[in-house]
Chains A and B, each alone.
Chain A
Amino acid sequence: MASYLSGAQALVKALERENVEVIFGIPGGATLTFYDALKDSSIRHVLARHEQSAAHMADGYARASGKVGVCTSTSGPGATNLLTGIATAYLDSSPVIAITGQVARDYIGKDAFQEIDTVGIFTPVVKYAFQPLSASEIPFDVKAAFYIASTGRQGPVLIDLPKDVQAEKAEIEFPERVEIKGYRPYVRPDPEVIREAAKLIIQSQKPVILVGGGAVKSEVGPKVVELAEMLMIPIASTLMGKGAIPENHFLAVGPIGMHGTYHANTLIMESDLVIGIGVRFSDRTTMDTKEFSKDRMILHFDIDPTEARKNIVNEFPVIGDLNESMSMLVSEIRKMMPYTKDSPWYKRVKELKEYYEDKIFGENVLSPFIIKKIREILHEDDIVTTEVGQAQAWAELFYKALRPRTFITSGGLGTMGFGFPAAIGAKVAKFDKTVVDIAGDGSFLMTSNSLATSVKEGIPVVVVILDNAVLGMIAQWQRLVYNNRYIASSLGETPNFPALAKAYGAEGVRVNGLEDFEKYFKEAVKSDVTYVIDVPISPEENVFPFVPAGKSLKEMIV
């Protein structure tokens, strides 16, 4: 059924047809017509204060809900500001649609006011980029954008829409479904390959399962747990894999990597087989890649064929839909070995886990206790986001994620400033849950103007700032790797964070020690405005364990 609509109306209608409930963005000259059409829609608009934050909000919304997040900016600087947020979503395979305004068709490529080659700039960090050049193309492009973003290995998609195409009127038809030649997101695992994989697992004496972001997104956790329990295999995770399985499970050993747990890093280096599930073996996870794969087989389950042998050259890849792969694998192994086994390996797992699980390395540290307190108070389906740096690493080590999509962090790009706007987006998706941003003072300042958004739009979140008045991870490296030669890592005792929060109409408090923190955190969780808790910590606090870059996972500093 065709209707006579403007391009902007067609865009809004197409978004409604994808059940979009919220758009995060900032209007500008090249999106005024789009916003004008949005005024007649029931879609909620959340006004960001910087486009980067708009993208992180959409990303946080997507990660918390599993739905596609939508953000928008104007052309030129709006688009370039959005870029960091979209690259963040790309590196962590998050389904986000970015709608950017563009100058009118006749002005494209002529350095017009606020014109930039948005498609050219975004192409390397999106799954696909659309630039509809007539109003009638919009419905197909929007439908295709949602399909591409949300299927296969998920990721962001750009729709760059010239101003005059938004205004142009045409007979518009809305497709029920789209066929995209060259895009086959669903990959059925090869049963023969699954049988081989099952054999490798059965033959292994010391296997470790490693779950990643793909296991969170595909919600394959229960099947992974079934596999693990059948053979008593410990389950480690990557940073992105936190929450794929409940981290309080008796076989869970926590994350591996630069800031992995002592027992997980030790077990993986003692293992004879790593069963990677929805991971990409990033350098922060494996550290020295050669050492990582030297004395063990690496089995690699993933949906994306380009991940096979990308980082671990001598691995055994199993490409296909993770849920299907795990189902096939579990039934294959049950055929081979219909009982659980109690092995020396499991005894070793138990021994290491018991000794190291609650161990906190380093003296006079407060941060790990703050994180553990947050876990103690929050419900299992409440959500934690993190900034990037020391606070992120402490959260990785000491916050046990119990459900998928409850631990949201910028793992791939490592974008400082991600946590707070992502928390706002997550809160919009899960309004009845408490959402806490575990922040450092350095990261929080990068997007703290989102306080305005959270207060004005009534989206209350809790921000816990582990405030050491330094760029903590930089200071830690300068201390431990660069022989105490500090430069440019001191931030000083500024700003006054509670005062900053209050200036925006949020709540803010500076606490003194763990007990004081507990008191205010419980209050913050109940607050109906955003609540910033400033927790002063020593600038000397280190995150341990710490594997310096270039070393193997065995070489932990504690």
Chain B
Amino acid sequence: MKRERVFFITVADKPGVLFKITNIFRRRNFNIESVTVGKSLAKDESQIVITINADDEEADSFARMVKKLIDVYEVVEAPKDSCYTQELLLAKLEGSKEELREIAKNYGAELMEDGSLILKYSGESSNVESLVKQLSRFKIIHISRTGITAVVKEDGKDILRFGR
């Protein structure tokens, strides 16, 4: 059954690693819904969080193919509903400050002023989507979304783990 999957990939922090990983998904014509990369706790390691839409077989096969890369130390794959996920939105806007304050309050977002207005929000992707819709009546100078980062829930199900 196709569903959204989150891959947590611990890798060597050096050039070319992301290319090798995304190339595995590209070769089989999978669109990467989101990718985020950050340093991990261990020295010289990064964590890449990738979300794709795949069935069980595909997810299992991708997890093993990605782990096979020598620069990949560990792969954990979990269905998205087994994860606690967050995404960060930054939106630079022009328009009524009062209205924006109201929206920010409703969403628990922060409004910053820097000549123009900058809205900062983090939440689940569906909330980010609905917030972006609300912003359409303002003049949007620039919107940036980070894509998903996540941790596996304590009671998360169907978790695959390879390596380490």
Contact = CB atoms under 8 A, between A and B. Distances in A.
Given A123-B16, A182-B12, A306 B73 contact: no
Contacts of A129: 16
Contacts of A127: 70
B116 interface: no
Contacts of B162: 305
Which secondary structure characterizes the binding site on chain B?
helix
B104 to A, nearest CB: 43
B70 A306 contact: no
Interface in A180-209: 180-183
Nearest to B64: A306
Interface in A143-181: 148, 180-181
Residue among B65, B70, B71 facing the most chain A CB atoms (10 A cut-off)? B70
B16 A309 contact: no
A182 B61 CA distance: 18
A44 interface: no
A128 interface: yes
Contacts of B60: 309
B27 interface: yes
A503 interface: no
B71 A182 contact: yes
A180 B65 contact: no
A119 B61 contact: no
A119 B14 CA distance: 14
Contacts of A183: 70
A214 B68 CA distance: 17
Nearest to A181: B73
A120 B19 contact: yes
Contacts of B68: 304-306
Contacts of B67: 305
Contacts of A309: 57, 60-61
Contact of B12 (A120, A181, A308, A310): A181
Categorize the interface residue count of chain A.
10 to 19
B23 A148 contact: no
B150 interface: no
A305 B70 contact: no
A308 B61 CA distance: 9
A119 B64 contact: no
A128 B70 contact: yes
Interface in B137-157: none
A549 interface: no
B70 A148 contact: yes
Given A180-B70, A181-B12, A182-B70, A124 B27 contact: yes
Given A119-B16, A123-B19, A123-B23, A308 B64 contact: yes
10 A-B pairs closest in CB distance: A306-B64, A183-B70, A182-B73, A306-B68, A306-B65, A128-B70, A182-B70, A305-B64, A182-B71, A123-B20
13 contacts: A123-B19, A127-B70, A128-B70, A148-B70, A181-B12, A181-B73, A182-B69, A182-B71, A182-B73, A304-B68, A308-B64, A309-B61, A310-B61
Given A181-B73, A182-B72, A183-B70, 5 more contacts: A123-B16, A182-B71, A182-B73, A306-B68, A310-B61
Interface of A: 119-120, 123-124, 127-129, 148, 180-183, 304-306, 308-310, 313
